[in-house]
Amino acid sequence: MNGHLPLVSIIIPTRNEERNIVRCLNSIFRQDYPQELLEVIVVDNYSEDRTVELAQKYDVAVYLMGPERNIQRDYGAQQSNGSYLMFIDADMELESSLIKEAVTKCENEGYDALILPLALEGEGFWTECVKLEKESFLNDDMMEAPNRFMKREVYTAVGGYDRTLIVGEDFDLGDRIKERGYKVGRVTSFVRYRDTRTFWQMVKKHYYYGKEMKKYLRKSKGKGVKRFFIIRQAYIKNIHLFARDPVHSAGLVIMKCIQYLAASVGLARSMLMR
């Protein structure tokens, strides 16, 4: 990397994230990258807890905007000044080498956008089931998207996050980047995140996603069906992961069946209400 380092803008949409925002911001300000070249933008969806208060204790810009995360992300991008844009969520922590590695790959190897691998952290039976699923998604072209780190001009050229999507927005942005022929790479440093939702909170979320799924399925031209089909390509390719952990694999099957049932009910309702 040359001596003239670029500014990186990190955009974080939030909504009632007082349990996570401090951990997230601390991981940003521990990066092996010059702090003066990190622009952090928190776009809060009118939280009812201490999210904004806690964020304002750091050297970050805080804006209020809603009602959905894609609107928040795109608004944050519009307020930013960085040569690179990075989109993360408040429940995420960055490994200290991540931003330096990402900038180096783009500056020295000519990448336009990067896949940031995700790793779930936490304890409990259902969390272990989800961990197993997320592990199967690593290095899978269909399930990983270059939607979290990119050059500003790339984000602008493809139209940014689709403000009208609530489901599949990450895949949608990643697909548009690939379709335009931009050079896509992958870093080895992980983004680690926590999912503190209970089993039934996950089910409720899938019902909500099901109600909002229709537009993404229409826009994705078949890719959406492949990504959200109950038997995914990643499961088959990584059958060895499930074979070595039959207990959590069985739990995952139960979990996915209930979640898909909830999503199907939501989708059916949205179809009937059109």
66: helix, strand or coil:
coil
pTM (global) more than 0.85: yes
Encoded tokens for 53? 């208060």
What percentage of the chain reaches a pLDDT higher than 70? 99
Residue 90's φ and ψ, nearest 5 degrees, are: -70, -20
Which residues, 6 or more positions from 261, have their beta carbon under 8 angstroms from its beta carbon? none
Does residue 232 fall inside a structural domain?
no
Q: What is the CATH number of the domain that holds 186?
A: 3.90.550.10
Mean pLDDT of 113-138: 95
Rounded Cα distance between 109 and 63, Å, is 34
Report whether pLDDT(1) > 60: no
Domain range spanning residue 131?
8-197
Pairing of strands 113-115, 184-186: parallel
Are 42 and 55 a contacting pair, CB within 8 Å? yes
Which candidate, 134, 113, 131, places its Cα nearest to that of 122? 131
Q: How many CB atoms lie within 10 A of CB 201?
A: 11
Residue 54 lies in a domain: yes
**Whole-number pLDDT of residue 135:** 96
- pLDDT category at 274 given cuts 50, 70, 90 is low
130 within a domain of the structure (yes/no): yes
Q: Is the pLDDT confidence value at 3 over 80? A: no
**25-49 average pLDDT score:** 97
Whole-number pLDDT of residue 2: 46
Q: Write down the pLDDT at residue 269.
A: 86
Residue 87 neighbours by CB distance under 10 Å: 26
Position 250 in a domain: no
- Quote the pLDDT of residue 229: 83
Report the pLDDT value the prediction gives residue 230, as an integer from 0 to 100.
81
From edge to edge, which strands make up the β-sheet containing 8-14? 61-64, 38-44, 8-14, 84-87, 149-151, 113-115, 184-186
CA distance 98 to 232: 29
Tell whether the model's pLDDT for residue 247 goes beyond 70: yes
How is 136-168 classified by DSSP, letter by letter? Answer: HHTT-TTT--S-SEEEHHHHHHHT-S-TT-SSS
Q: Specify the number of domains making up the chain.
A: 1
What would the mean pLDDT of 259-269 be, rounded to a whole number?
A: 92
Which whole-number Å values give the CA distances from 202 to 133, 172, 207, 230, in the listed order?
15, 22, 9, 16
Predicted confidence band at 53 (pLDDT cuts at 50, 70, 90)?
Answer: very high
Instruction: Give the β-pairing of 38-44 and 113-115.
Output: unpaired
In a domain, 223, yes or no: no
Please indicate, yes or no, if residue 226 is contained in any of the structural domains.
Answer: no
Residue 105, pLDDT > 60, answer: yes
Average of per-residue pLDDT values in the chain: 94
Residue 264 lies in a domain: no
pLDDT of residue 232: 87
What pLDDT shows up at residue 97? Answer: 98
Give the pLDDT mean for 158-178. 95
Write out pLDDT tens, residues 185-227: 999 999 999 887 888 888 899 999 898 898 999 999 888 888 8
Does 230 fall in a domain? no
Residue 29 scores a pLDDT above 50: yes
pLDDT of residue 18: 96
